[in-house]
Chains A and B, each alone.
Chain A
Amino acid sequence: MTAFVRDQWYVAAYGREVGRELLGRTVLGEPILLYRTEDGRAVAMSERCVHRRFPLSQAPSRLDGDRVVCGYHGFTYGTDGGCVSVPGQQRIPRTARLKTYPVVEQDSFVWVWIGNREPGDTLPPRATWMDSPDYTVVSGMEPIDGDYGLLVDNLMDLSHETYLHGGYIGTPEVAETPITTEVDDTAGIVHVSRHMDDAECPPFYAKSTGIEGRITRWQDIEYHAPCLYLLHSRIAPVGAPGPNPDGSDPHAFHVEVVYGITPSTEKTTYDFWAVARDFALDDQDVTEFLRGNNHTVVMQDVVALNVLQKSLDTEPAGYQELSINIDTGGLAARRILARLAQEGAAKQARTVAR
């Protein structure tokens, strides 16, 4: 399995999912309860009652004002995780406290910090298109029955679009066009660029942009290990002028594909997906087309990765893989994740030893 990386921000939910109903999510194996206080603040704490470990997101557990009441025996907790009431006695045990998690709401995501230390000044990486008035966004979340490393592998090598997503976003040119890979090991960023000068326009873009002929198609991946994946997609008719030196690019259509890759357990993953576009902003037909089409594409990946995980589970330990040129970015991501996990484990060991 791909080792977990601690001391990092992870997407736990979309902001719209966190409200006055109790929501349970498991991140890096830790069950987390999410809800919004009466004044609108998102909070996150352990989802298991300290008493008999009843899941606090499960009915009849409920909110009473900003307090969480366990549905089994009534243990009641404040937003700081502290227990304020236990049944039938005055004394509240000193250890009756739920672990709380630092939360940041940013770019329509609710991020939680999973780690042994506090985040300090560290903030989650940005995906500003998600709530920008200049973009229209469709988004969703699909659980995957697989190691999160399988999703990282999948997204870092888009040549699979030609085969797994043919007829949707894949065309022959994706697999045929060489890539350039850049890795900033210190920052934990992998950038993979594939620029197609003259390519078939796949239905995903033909129907949403109205382009009928061939296109220049740029795919620039920017992976911020471990959780945030961005695909900057630029589409323009062949022959259209390129971007201006100041970065403006009025002759092209831009789609920002955003993924939150959140490990849930060792072999389950939350796949938060979003597609933000800077054209046809108010066209509901385009919105519904992109929502349906991209959901289909996401599910093609989900089904494939579920099958792959099942298959890998039958392999003897130490099975061999073969990597080729298209895997350069994926290999870089794997190495960064391994290094970050190792550093996190070393910090944890030092903390335990103290």
Chain B
Amino acid sequence: MTPLHPPALSGEDVHRIHWVLGTDRLLAVCHCGAQREFEDPVELWDWLLGHPEDHRPGPASESAPASTPQPRHAAFA
């Protein structure tokens, strides 16, 4: 699987949505760890915000960021 983009936000309630490279699909990752792929961002948001309904924890690959360091942004602190 293509390495996922490293996380930028560090809060506890962060939803992440990765555009799966080379496809038209979006991978939604809930803060609870549940993951699901979608082709429609509206359906994706309905599912993410519907937590915990239909959210089963998936593989924890999302928590292992790619290794590219990020430039420092003061506002992220």
Contacts and interface: CB of A to CB of B under 8 A. Distances in A.
Contacts of B7: 182
Interface in B12-48: 12-21, 24, 26, 40-42, 44-45
A257 interface: no
A178 interface: yes
Contacts of A125: 75
A134 to B, nearest CB: 11
Nearest to A327: B41
A324 B41 contact: yes
A184 B9 contact: yes
| Interface size, B (range) | 20 to 34
Nearest to A256: B73
B45 to A, nearest CB: 6
A336 B27 CA distance: 20
A188 to B, nearest CB: 10
B8 A220 contact: yes
Grouping DSSP codes into helix (H, G, I), strand (E, B) and loop, the A interface class, with mixed when no group exceeds half, is: mixed
Contacts of B76: 222
B41 A328 contact: yes
A186 B49 CA distance: 12
B13 A186 contact: yes
A247 B49 contact: no
A243 B71 contact: yes
A185 interface: yes
B41 A247 contact: no
A247 B75 contact: no
Contact of B75 (A178, A186, A230, A335): A230
B14 A182 contact: yes
B41 A184 contact: no
Contacts of A234: 71
A180 B5 contact: yes
B74 A126 contact: yes
Closest 7 pairs (CB-CB, A-B): A247-B72, A178-B19, A180-B5, A184-B11, A181-B17, A249-B71, A183-B15
Given A182-B9, A182-B16, 9 more contacts: A126-B75, A128-B75, A180-B17, A183-B14, A186-B13, A242-B69, A254-B71, A323-B40, A331-B45
28 contacts: A178-B19, A178-B21, A182-B15, A183-B14, A183-B16, A184-B11, A184-B14, A186-B12, A191-B8, A195-B5, A220-B73, A222-B75, A230-B75, A232-B71, A234-B71, A243-B69, A246-B72, A247-B72, A248-B72, A254-B71, A323-B40, A323-B42, A324-B41, A328-B17, A328-B19, A328-B26, A331-B42, A332-B15
Interface of B: 4-5, 7-9, 11-21, 24, 26, 40-42, 44-45, 49, 68-76
